[in-house]
Amino acid sequence: MSDALISVEAVEKVFEVRRRTGLMRREKRQVRAVDGIGFEIARGEVVGYIGPNGAGKSTTIKMLTGILTPSGGRLRVAGIDPARERMRLAHRIGVVFGQRTTLWWDLPLKDSYGLMRRMYRIPEARFRENLDRCVDRLDLAALLDVPVRQLSLGQRMRGDIAAALLHDPEVLYLDEPTIGLDVVSKARVRGFLRQLNEELGTTVLLTTHDLQDIEQLCERVMVIDHGRLMYDGALGGLHALGDGGERTLVVDLERELPPLEVAGARVVRVEGQRQWLAFPARESAAPLVAAVASRYPLLDLSVREPDIEDVIARMYAGRA
Ligand SMILES: Nc1ncnc2c1ncn2[C@@H]1O[C@H](COP(=O)(O)OP(=O)(O)OP(=O)(O)O)[C@@H](O)[C@H]1O
């Protein structure tokens, strides 16, 4: 028996789609949205779940909430089979879909929270405590009397996050929680999630297209593409992936020189006395640094890791 809070084993989701191919004819086609994925998430982890459009992220989250039933495999969240006991699971998890709201559009924010309290039968004292904490940390005090439809996107998102947490869920799923938000709102949402995880130990699974969400919140990242898990590990480990990965040695010379000639690296840019040399990410920089230093007049040197965005873009491109 594993002690994972979330466990996913060989899970598949196949959708049947009907497509009109002629006046009378329709073709049935199967879309394998999730194609045999497996992972475990321990209590207290914050895990990023990323992949290109249509990769299967939302489908996975929907199966983990019980909204969708898997076509195959086994899922457990807090020991519960989500599709079988969706209502029981609802008391243990919180869900925020960035593109949709769970709040009542025409009601003031605080009335939505009151309805949540009754739906989840949250004891008054606990409700107060959780609401006060969210109001304080998400800066919602001035918004409680405002109807949801009048809130800005960032305000509404903060309101939605609070709504997902009033019943003390152990797990929080966030699907694109910072989509469309400005820089300040993004920072506030990220800061709040970090604090939530540190103070209450809430387990977080987060899908996003914003890699800064991942860099600032997640120690672990899972990459999905075409329904398959391509990577599961530390964010730093992504840098080492793929043979196309390159690091860059940035060299400041004492004077302008033609492009340097050093084995194992190639000059990719020259700007006055500064030159950029690309070399394979998996190789040590030491011999290269030694070779450059022995042959050219140097003022300074630095090594740049590949941009995480480049690494991921290359991974996606490789699969396509
Ligand atoms: N209800 C459905 N019926 C048929 N096909 C579906 C359904 N839901 C999702 N799909 C298909 O399954 C695949 C995975 O979709 P999913 O929404 O999980 O991707 P995603 O990774 O969340 O993408 P995005 O980043 O665009 O939100 C896509 O090809 C999508 O068209």
Domain endpoint, select from 239, 270, 294: 239
Is the residue at 83 inside a domain?
Answer: yes
Is the residue at 90 inside a domain?
Answer: yes
The answer to whether the beta carbons of residues 132 and 144 sit under 8 Å apart is no
- For position 130, which CATH number holds? 3.40.50.300
Is the residue at 8 inside a domain?
Answer: no
Is the residue at 21 inside a domain?
Answer: no
Report how far residue 104's alpha carbon sits from residue 303's, in angstroms, rounded to the nearest whole number.
52
Q: What confidence score (pLDDT) does residue 5 get?
A: 95
**Is the domain of 257 the same as that of 207?**
no
User: Could you identify the atom of ligand 1 that is nearest to the CA of residue 55?
Assistant: 21
What are the Cα distances from residue 279, in Å, to 270, 287, 303, 306, 316?
Answer: 16, 11, 10, 10, 21
**Amino acid letter at 228?**
R
The answer to whether the beta carbons of residues 83 and 63 sit under 8 Å apart is yes
Q: What confidence score (pLDDT) does residue 207 get?
A: 93
The Å distance, Cα 269 to ligand 1 centre, comes to 40
Domain endpoint, select from 239, 265, 299: 239
The Å distance, Cα 181 to ligand 1 centre, comes to 23
Supply the residue whose CA is at minimum distance from atom 6 of ligand 1: 15
**Is the domain of 285 the same as that of 170?**
no
Q: How many domains does the structure of the chain reveal?
A: 2
Supply the residue whose CA is at minimum distance from atom 29 of ligand 1: 54
DSSP 3-state of 24: coil
Domain endpoint, select from 239, 257, 290: 239
Confidence check: pLDDT of 242 > 60: no
Q: What confidence score (pLDDT) does residue 318 get?
A: 59
The Å distance, Cα 310 to ligand 1 centre, comes to 24
Report how far residue 212's alpha carbon sits from residue 48's, in angstroms, rounded to the nearest whole number.
11
**Is the domain of 183 the same as that of 251?**
no
Segment (H or E) for 275: strand 274-280
SS (H, E, C) 71-115: CEEEEEECCECCCCCHHHHHCCEEEEECCCCCCCCCCEHHHHHHH
Residue 95 burial class via C-beta count within 10 angstroms: exposed 0-12, middle 13-18, buried 19 and up = buried
Is the residue at 29 inside a domain?
Answer: no
Q: What confidence score (pLDDT) does residue 239 get?
A: 63
pTM (2 d.p.): 0.79
- β-pairing, 46-50 vs 274-280, is unpaired
Is the residue at 122 inside a domain?
Answer: yes
Ligand 1 pocket, CB under 6 A: 15, 17, 31, 33, 51, 53-59
Probe residue for ligand 1, chosen from 12, 31, 60 as the CB with the greatest number of ligand atoms within 8 Å? 31
Residue 280's pLDDT band, with cuts at 50, 70 and 90, is: confident
Reported as a single tens digit per residue, the pLDDT across 117-170 is 999 999 999 999 999 999 999 999 999 999 999 999 889 999 999 999 999 999
**Is the domain of 66 the same as that of 172?**
yes
**Is the domain of 48 the same as that of 111?**
yes
| Domain extent at residue 313 | 246-319
The Å distance, Cα 49 to ligand 1 centre, comes to 14
Q: What confidence score (pLDDT) does residue 19 get?
A: 82
Q: What are the φ/ψ torsions at residue 227 (nearest 5 degrees)?
A: 75, 0
**Is the domain of 307 the same as that of 200?**
no
Structure tokens at 149: 């439809």
Is the residue at 5 inside a domain?
Answer: no
Supply the residue whose CA is at minimum distance from atom 10 of ligand 1: 33
Number of other CB atoms surrounding residue 80 within 10 Å: 18
The Å distance, Cα 27 to ligand 1 centre, comes to 19
User: Could you identify the atom of ligand 1 that is nearest to the CA of residue 56?
Assistant: 18
**Is the domain of 100 the same as that of 235?**
yes
DSSP 3-state of 251: strand
**Is the domain of 234 the same as that of 253?**
no
Supply the residue whose CA is at minimum distance from atom 30 of ligand 1: 54
Number of other CB atoms surrounding residue 81 within 10 Å: 16
Is the residue at 34 inside a domain?
Answer: no
**Is the domain of 164 the same as that of 67?**
yes
- For position 265, which CATH number holds? 3.30.70
**Is the domain of 217 the same as that of 122?**
yes
128 vs 211, more confident: 128
Supply the residue whose CA is at minimum distance from atom 2 of ligand 1: 15
**Is the domain of 121 the same as that of 182?**
yes
The Å distance, Cα 56 to ligand 1 centre, comes to 6
**Is the domain of 263 the same as that of 220?**
no
Confidence check: pLDDT of 83 > 50: yes
The Å distance, Cα 245 to ligand 1 centre, comes to 29
Percent of the chain beyond pLDDT 90? 70
Percent of the chain beyond pLDDT 70? 94
